[in-house]
Structure 1
Amino acid sequence: MREHGDDPQRLGLVADLTNPMWEHMVVDPRYRCLIVLTHFANPDGAPGHKTRTWFSVKHAPVMAWAGFCRNLPDYGPVYAGMTMVANAAVMPTNDRMPVLFDPHDYDAWLHGGIRDVIGFQHRAPFAAERMVVEHTEDLWRSGKLPAKAQPQLALL
């Protein structure tokens, strides 16, 4: 947890839109962005022995996550991804998951009002049937990528 006066982390999570920390960012579309990713991971298993479980979207080489970005004068760029209640595929590892978008959602996220932001966070998550779940034996803190991850240039 960040103490008063500590520099912010480069990446954070936005789970509670009513938190005063986010009140100015969430209402202003200029601070919204799309975080593009191929997978996201959660720890799975007993404390001290947690492994990585990877999640991706079927038939999609990339996915977009609801993000906020801001360039702080004394610190540089910082980012936060918005989370929502997890779907059935993610729930065994975490009760939250990224707010993921289909391409038709991009414009409303990037240019919409606060009602759109709230709506995205409180809508139903991507259906579990749309997700690919990859359990691994890799320790959570190993830093290993998913076996099926493609080199980034191959995605373009």
Structure 2
Amino acid sequence: ALEDAVLTGYGLFHKEKMILNEEEITTKGASAQSGTSGPSGPSGTSPSSRSNTLPRSNTSSGASPPADASDSDAKSYADLKHRVRNYLFTIKELKYPELFDLTNHMLTLCDNIHGFKYLIDGYEEINELLYKLNFYFDLLRAKLNDVCA
């Protein structure tokens, strides 16, 4: 279970950061388009970066793909948040006392979008969690090697 938690954590936090960044780009692009509605909104960098980062959206038809991209990003954000929260609950179930406060803090950050963005973009808490999990995994592996030797 501990090895799986370590591997899942690295896979989740290092691969999923790009999905959250795509959501931020789309959100910023949509707010820029609705706020400016001039030539700078549609011709800015957000639509082109959206087409490069979101393989499911087609930008050939104008304004409708960004709305579709926003919907898919909202789903990917909700999915990412759900997976991060499930991962943190899994870590909490391991019942390592040194991880309890950190896991609770991270779960609190997941409660709103700004805290979640801080958690994903900041890496401070994530790195601390993964460092401690690695420590426990290495300690467990060393104990098993001693018992088997």
> Structure 2-normalised TM-score?
0.30
Structure that is richer in helix per residue: 2
| Greater Rg over alpha carbons, structure | 2
**Which one has a larger percent strand, Structure 1 or Structure 2?**
1
Normalization by structure 1: what TM-score?
A: 0.29
